[in-house]
Structure 1
Amino acid sequence: MSSWVEVRAGAYRDSVTLMRVSRGLAAQPGVTAAMAAMGTGLNLDLMGRQGFEVPPDAGPNDLVVAIQGVDEAAVDAARRVVEGLLAEAVPQDAGAIGAAEPARTVGVAARRVNAGLALVSVPGRYAFVEAMDALAAGLNVMVFSDNVPLAQEVALKEEAARRGLIVMGPDCGTAVIGGTGLGFANAVRPGPVGVVAASGTGAQQMMSLLDTAGVGVRHVLGVGGRDLSAEVSGRSTLAALAALDADPATELIAVVTKPPSPRVADLVHAAARRLDTPVEFAMLGEDSGDLTASTEKVLTALGRAVPRWPSWPSGRPASGARGALRGLFAGGTLCTEATLVARRVLGPDLRAGGHVLTDLGGDEYTRGRPHPMIDPTLRLERLAAEAADPSCGVILVDVVLGYGAEPDPAALLAPAVEAAVRDGTGPHVVVSLCGTPDDPQDRDRQAESLRTAGADVFASNAAAARHAAGLAQNGGER
């Protein structure tokens, strides 16, 4: 076993770039562990626990690259890849003679270009300063960063309101502005629908289903998963509703959110009634419809036909699902929706029956490591463990496609599915596949690969959850 650590003083890269660099290094032949990250205390601790010896003078302003391999040759080969992976994020003219000095602050950058939006993607503890700098420069802000303190989120949104701007986030993973996707976004056609989303994967599910039905989106304004909490009081949701209502090309607005605070939900409904643009709500809750049903309401309101949502059955007989349901999700809202659907089938206390659905994209799983939509390592490990558990009868996973996500998730997941089903003797595997045929990964190609491996695949997350829960409830008898 061999390892190598390099500290690059003062070299900054954003968290999304470093997630991809880490993923690219880990995929190199013979590499057993790899991490590229800024030298924060948490990241250095994670490297130490992986067995790396990081120089004690490394700090949060330093880029640290650590590689471990089966031998020196594997590590040396991976080291030669580092420069290429990092260079992909650097403009070609950076450092050239006559090139402009890189902007050191958001405000400086804003003065150089005609911009209306700043995207902040730094560790959560630093996001507040950068986002406030962007607001002071007159920019709307998308805060991709998570782990931002609640009080700072409220302060940012209050400042935005004073300036007539919008803060999207924190933890805003998905947005579409005038057809341009930011963060994790799907390739969808332009159209008349504007989406306000306190949910990234919830927005992706709706925009993908709309695209399947032949309807496009104008804008998707993410507001962060806490925006409809009692503490934040829907500040960005209200601002986003007003912005979309003022856009003459937006014919209908959809509000997508995880279960909101009842008081805030009432506030948002009241604001929607004052708008000229019609509003449809997809607010997940025990007594509400699922995201697919809400999408169908949008289609009906637009006078469009509701299609039969695509599915790709494996052909495996339904018998043999003699165990509990285990959900392994990358999308928090998709996990919430699946949990609500499963409760309606299996009863309100899922854990009493051994049924557990887990959001592996939650903050507790992503501190210091890539999101599972980028790096599926943790989920693949969990899938193998569940498949080996004799009490598990059904495994439900989501696969979210689009820009920013894993380039070919089926290439990694299909072998794991095949190993789990064990020629029909292992648990049933059900996949919720969120995406479009035009996504870089090609939804239909991904579906066929997963179906061939033995999974039942559904474009509707709610349909996938109902199918999985039905298998677990009926013990395979249908």
Structure 2
Amino acid sequence: MATKIEIFKNLYQDSVSLMQISAQISKLPGVAQASVVMGTPSNLVQLADAGLGDDVKASPNDLVIAVRGDEAACEAALNLARERLSARASSSEAQTSEALAATSLAMACDEEPASNLALISVPGDYAAAEAIKALQLGMNVMLFSDNVSMAHEKAIKTLAREKRLIVMGPDCGTAIVNGMPLGFANVVRRGGIGVVGASGTGLQEVTCRIDQLGAGISQALGTGGHDLHEDIGGISMQFGLDALAEDPDTRVIVLISKPPARAVAERILERARKSGKPVVVNFLGASEDDMRAPGLTFAHTLADAAQFAVALLNGAPLPASVARVEPHDDATLAAQSDALGARRRFIRGVFAGGTFCYESQLLCKAEGFTASSNTPVKGNAKLADIWKSEAHTIVDMGDDDFTRGRPHPMIDPTLRDERVRAEILDPETAVVLFDLVLGYGAADEPAQGLIALLAQLPRDNGPLLIAHVCGTEADPQVRSRQIDALRAAGVLVAGCNAEAALWASRVARLQAQRHA
């Protein structure tokens, strides 16, 4: 098996584009692994860890293509990557044929003086400097880049607060600003609900669910996952909350996060209480008693946050929590569980969305099923070997553990599909729980590869497959089309992530009783 590497000097491309090219060339026959990245020190270490080159000589401004596989397949992959890069270059040249392309934020502001938002996606070592430049020019920032230190994040956000601007990020993957989806966002209708979230897929789930319930989004602002850490203090969430409180088009506000530091939570909840608008709070895993405050509505799950916000918008009574409603498909779950052998006892969760993995662990644990994970919630165990499940196991395939040298599973679900296949073949698996995330940047047909894989496997007496699809009908992948395809392949599709996790717990409970 050959390994081939090609370096393009001083050719910068954003990370999403490179992940898409990586995904495309990885699927070529005969290619075992492929990665297209900028030559930053951290990326070069990841290439080495993935077995794609131990001594690659590249600078952070150089673009690196690394491929392992059959000799001919490697050449084909390199040729395809060159074509994709050439096509992007030609497109950029066409767009700037009548004017010199801006080579700095200052030049871009000179050309477009009304610009007030900079989307930054550069290697983490340079991201903080670019964000500060944008703030000094009076622009808000969406910082897609990751690997930004906590100290740099605090400095950036402190400057933003002084200038009355917002920094969404670092590692902000999702936002919807004035109806414009940014990053991995979905196509949702405009409306009266504003969302501030420290979780990308959490933000996607809530905005999509609001759309499915017939309401719409005024603004959806990501903050990055570290914003509510004690060292940062929730600077971006507080700014977003204040901005939505002042926005006449926002009538209800939703806040999303994993549990913040207690002092930060108290500060944000006090600010939310004084916003003058109904506020739904979904801090996954936090105690309802800790989150209770006058004028605020606590939501136990992401789906609850969406349905409570829609009810408040419409002046309707709050519906029951998804977590407190008996499965409406209980008879179906029981009937299909009857076909499982007593040896099949365990839940195996395989997620592309980190927040979906987190929420599923919490719900399964509340139902009595502690699980191992590469990203365990409090009370769950750390997997000894991330590639090998043990008893109940729920993994985040989008975590760095799995994406070093590989595209994120939202862009290329191949690695996720392979893990699903392994769990199906395990004779102790009772149910395989997984997500499908749609929207801009996601795979064109995320169900396609999995369905092809399922067609090759024996399904008699196999485990139940339970999924949830995060997306809307207006997304490029069309949510109903993905759901129909999964159901035709024998997958049970729940209405939301929380419901899917509760279904999985129901199956595990029936199997535990049968085993006993």
TM-score (norm 1): 0.91
Q: Which residue of 2 aligns with 1:108?
A: 107
Q: Which residue of 1 aligns with 2:81?
A: 82
Residue 373 (str. 1) matches residue 410 (str. 2):
yes
Deviation at 1:404?
0.9
Specify the code of the residue in structure 1 equivalent to 2:30: G
Deviation at 1:88?
4.9
For residues 383-407 of structure 1, what are the alpha-carbon distances to aligned partners after superposition, in whole Å with 9 as ceiling and x for unaligned?
2332333332222111111111111
Q: Which residue of 1 aligns with 2:157?
A: 157
Q: CA–CA distance in 1 between the matches of 2:189 and 2:214?
A: 8
Paired residues of 2:25 and 2:80 also in contact (CA < 8 A): yes
CA RMSD between the two structures = 2.8
Q: 1:91 to 1:112 in 2, by over 3 A?
A: farther
Question: Aligned pairs, how many?
Answer: 476
Q: Which residue of 2 aligns with 1:346?
A: 368
Deviation at 1:33?
2.4
Q: Which residue of 2 aligns with 1:11?
A: 11
For structure 2, the 5+ residue unaligned runs are 289-299, 371-378, 383-389
For residues 82-114 of structure 1, what are the alpha-carbon distances to aligned partners after superposition, in whole Å with 9 as ceiling and x for unaligned?
243224544635279964443332233223223
For residues 51-62 of structure 1, the aligned pairs below 5 Å read 52=52, 56-62=56-62
Q: Which residue of 2 aligns with 1:297?
A: 308
For residues 219-271 of structure 1, what are the alpha-carbon distances to aligned partners after superposition, in whole Å with 9 as ceiling and x for unaligned?
10001111112121110001011111221111111111122222211111100
Q: 1:434 to 1:77 in 2, by over 3 A?
A: same
For residues 61-460 of structure 1, the aligned pairs below 5 Å read 61-72=61-72, 74-90=73-89, 92=91, 94=93, 99-113=98-112, 114-288=114-288, 289-303=300-314, 317-319=336-338, 320=340, 322-347=344-369, 354-418=391-455, 422-460=458-496
Q: 1:191 to 1:476 in 2, by over 3 A?
A: farther
Paired residues of 2:430 and 2:508 also in contact (CA < 8 A): yes
Deviation at 1:334?
1.3
Q: CA–CA distance in 2 between the matches of 1:87 and 1:315?
A: 55
Paired residues of 1:24 and 1:85 also in contact (CA < 8 A): no
Deviation at 1:432?
1.8
Q: Which residue of 1 aligns with 2:510?
A: 474
Deviation at 1:316?
7.1
Paired residues of 2:192 and 2:313 also in contact (CA < 8 A): no
Query: Which range moves more in the overlay, 91-100 or 428-437?
Result: 91-100
For residues 202-221 of structure 1, what are the alpha-carbon distances to aligned partners after superposition, in whole Å with 9 as ceiling and x for unaligned?
11111111111110101100
Q: Secondary structure at the match of 1:218?
A: strand
Q: 1:30 to 1:280 in 2, by over 3 A?
A: same
Deviation at 1:443?
0.8
Q: Which residue of 2 aligns with 1:35?
A: 35
Q: 1:110 to 1:475 in 2, by over 3 A?
A: same
* Percent identity between the two aligned chains: 41
Q: 1:367 to 1:243 in 2, by over 3 A?
A: farther
Q: 1:89 to 1:192 in 2, by over 3 A?
A: farther
Q: CA–CA distance in 2 between the matches of 1:318 and 1:175?
A: 40
Q: CA–CA distance in 2 between the matches of 1:410 and 1:315?
A: 26
Paired residues of 1:189 and 1:215 also in contact (CA < 8 A): yes
Deviation at 1:29?
3.4
Specify the code of the residue in structure 1 equivalent to 2:304: A
Specify the code of the residue in structure 1 equivalent to 2:350: L
Q: CA–CA distance in 2 between the matches of 1:145 and 1:264?
A: 24
Query: Which range moves more in the overlay, 465-474 or 302-311?
Result: 302-311
Q: Secondary structure at the match of 1:385?
A: helix
Q: 1:469 to 1:417 in 2, by over 3 A?
A: farther
Q: Secondary structure at the match of 2:142?
A: strand
Q: Secondary structure at the match of 1:142?
A: strand
Q: CA–CA distance in 2 between the matches of 1:226 and 1:53?
A: 32
Paired residues of 1:318 and 1:476 also in contact (CA < 8 A): no
Deviation at 1:57?
3.7
Paired residues of 1:314 and 1:451 also in contact (CA < 8 A): no
Q: CA–CA distance in 1 between the matches of 2:56 and 2:18?
A: 21
Q: 1:330 to 1:411 in 2, by over 3 A?
A: same
Paired residues of 1:192 and 1:252 also in contact (CA < 8 A): yes
Q: Secondary structure at the match of 1:327?
A: strand
Q: CA–CA distance in 1 between the matches of 2:17 and 2:95?
A: 22
Paired residues of 1:323 and 1:390 also in contact (CA < 8 A): no
Q: CA–CA distance in 2 between the matches of 1:307 and 1:418?
A: 39
Deviation at 1:307?
9.5
Q: CA–CA distance in 2 between the matches of 1:278 and 1:337?
A: 24
Paired residues of 1:17 and 1:89 also in contact (CA < 8 A): no
Paired residues of 2:175 and 2:185 also in contact (CA < 8 A): yes
Paired residues of 1:38 and 1:64 also in contact (CA < 8 A): yes
Query: Which range moves more in the overlay, 432-441 or 385-394?
Result: 385-394
For residues 35-63 of structure 1, what are the alpha-carbon distances to aligned partners after superposition, in whole Å with 9 as ceiling and x for unaligned?
21112233334444555558754222211
Q: Secondary structure at the match of 1:29?
A: coil
Specify the code of the residue in structure 2 equivalent to 1:81: L
Q: 1:9 to 1:99 in 2, by over 3 A?
A: farther
Q: CA–CA distance in 2 between the matches of 1:315 and 1:121?
A: 48
Deviation at 1:77?
3.4
Paired residues of 2:369 and 2:505 also in contact (CA < 8 A): no
Q: CA–CA distance in 1 between the matches of 2:256 and 2:209?
A: 13
Query: Which range moves more in the overlay, 169-178 or 79-88?
Result: 79-88
TM-score (norm 2): 0.85
For residues 145-180 of structure 1, what are the alpha-carbon distances to aligned partners after superposition, in whole Å with 9 as ceiling and x for unaligned?
122111111111101001110000111111001111
Q: CA–CA distance in 2 between the matches of 1:18 and 1:97?
A: 21
Q: CA–CA distance in 1 between the matches of 2:88 and 2:245?
A: 36
For residues 102-152 of structure 1, what are the alpha-carbon distances to aligned partners after superposition, in whole Å with 9 as ceiling and x for unaligned?
333223322322311111112222211111111111110011112211111
Q: CA–CA distance in 2 between the matches of 1:181 and 1:330?
A: 20
Paired residues of 1:395 and 1:429 also in contact (CA < 8 A): yes
Residue 465 (str. 1) matches residue 487 (str. 2):
no
Deviation at 1:413?
1.8
